[in-house]
């Protein structure tokens, strides 16, 4: 990335004000080296991903500690594991009851639900960006998240809280600017999908052409539908 930025002219580099990155120290270091004047915003999707990974790690650990094995289809919490990773507001009342009751019935420690609540509180903090990123909202949501993780005293949540603390300056930039690399991540997913479907390309030009066709396919179809037909004489 440093070489690519170095190849751009000075006017281009001076025009970059905010850079959205994954929560990766090498990426952040490269941005600080090549664009020392630019603010760094951490992508919120990856923070939610880390929270989901923490929930999964707690669920797996609790299952091993109480059953001595991995989760099976006979375990209600394993059957409903995907509900733990879904956004709370997207759960129907029936799905929420099924997820909640399965954790209560199979986890006497309550750590799985505690991890799920921590994940939702982190999402509440990230949601402050859509509500304007006001300072008092950010501070209140951050305090609630830290307090919950501290009171829980669960290793996975402690690690998650430390990660948020380490990336808080970049997270604050996201809350204030809402800059994200979602578009880049989406395009990267399409590129990988083309490569997997073709099982690889030997010709780089064909690979590039196929990627461009795949990434602009929906846009081309939409413009074709909305283009008015010429008047007939």
CA distance 133 to 175: 5
- Give residue 227's pLDDT: 52
13-23: pLDDT as tens digits: 889 999 999 99
Same domain assignment for residues 61 and 101: yes
Same domain assignment for residues 52 and 160: yes
Same domain assignment for residues 7 and 109: no
Residue 57: inside a domain: yes
CA distance 174 to 192: 27
Mean pLDDT, the chain, whole residue set: 88
Confidence check: pLDDT of 114 > 90: yes
Q: 23: domain range? A: 2-42
CA distance 72 to 85: 18
66-92: pLDDT as tens digits: 888 888 888 888 999 999 999 999 999
CB–CB of 42/163 below 8 Å? no
184-218: pLDDT as tens digits: 888 888 888 888 887 777 888 888 888 888 777 65
Q: How many domains does the chain have?
A: 3
Residue 201: inside a domain: yes
Most confidently modeled of 5-9, 100-104, 228-232? Answer: 100-104
Confidence check: pLDDT of 176 > 60: yes
Residue 197: inside a domain: yes
37-76: pLDDT as tens digits: 999 999 999 999 999 999 999 999 999 998 888 888 888 8
CA distance 144 to 118: 9
Confidence check: pLDDT of 142 > 90: yes
CB–CB of 48/90 below 8 Å? no
Confidence check: pLDDT of 152 > 80: yes
Same domain assignment for residues 133 and 208: no
Same domain assignment for residues 139 and 111: yes
Residue 209: inside a domain: yes
Same domain assignment for residues 32 and 82: no
- Give residue 232's pLDDT: 53
Same domain assignment for residues 24 and 120: no
Same domain assignment for residues 89 and 111: yes
Residue 206: inside a domain: yes
The values of phi and psi at residue 119, to 5°, are: -60, -45
Same domain assignment for residues 77 and 52: yes
Same domain assignment for residues 147 and 210: no
CB–CB of 55/116 below 8 Å? yes
- Give residue 197's pLDDT: 80
Task: Say what percent of the chain tops pLDDT 70.
Answer: 92
Tokens of residue 25, six digits: 């120290």
Tokens of residue 158, six digits: 């402690």
Same domain assignment for residues 68 and 107: yes
Confidence check: pLDDT of 233 > 60: no
Q: Is pTM, for the whole model, over 0.95?
A: no
CA distance 105 to 183: 41
Q: In the predicted model, what is the mean pLDDT of residues 136-145? A: 95
Contacts within 8 Å (CB) and 24+ apart, 3-6: 5/34, 5/35, 6/34
């Amino acid at each position: 990335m440093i070489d690519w930025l170095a190849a751009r002219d000075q006017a281009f580099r001076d025009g970059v004000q905010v850079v959205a990155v994954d929560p990766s120290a090498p990426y952040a270091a490269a941005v600080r080296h090549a664009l020392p004047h630019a603010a760094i915003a951490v992508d919120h999707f990856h923070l939610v991903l880390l929270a989901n990974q923490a929930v999964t790690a707690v669920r797996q650990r609790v299952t091993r500690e109480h059953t001595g094995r991995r989760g099976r289809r006979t375990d209600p919490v394993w059957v409903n594991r995907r509900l733990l990773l879904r956004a709370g507001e997207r759960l129907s009342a029936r799905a929420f009851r099924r997820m909640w009751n399965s954790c209560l019935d199979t986890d006497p420690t309550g750590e799985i639900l505690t991890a799920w609540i921590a994940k939702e509180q982190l999402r509440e903090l990230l949601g402050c960006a859509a509500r304007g990123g006001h300072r008092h909202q950010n501070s209140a949501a951050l305090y609630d998240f830290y307090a919950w993780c501290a009171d829980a005293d669960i290793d996975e949540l402690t690690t998650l809280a430390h990660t948020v603390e380490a990336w808080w300056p970049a997270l604050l930039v996201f809350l204030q600017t809402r800059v994200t690399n979602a578009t880049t991540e989406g395009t990267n997913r399409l590129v990988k999908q083309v490569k997997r479907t073709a099982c690889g390309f030997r010709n780089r030009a064909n690979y590039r052409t196929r990627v461009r066709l795949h990434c602009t396919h929906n846009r081309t179809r939409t413009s074709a539908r909305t283009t008015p037909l010429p008047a007939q004489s």
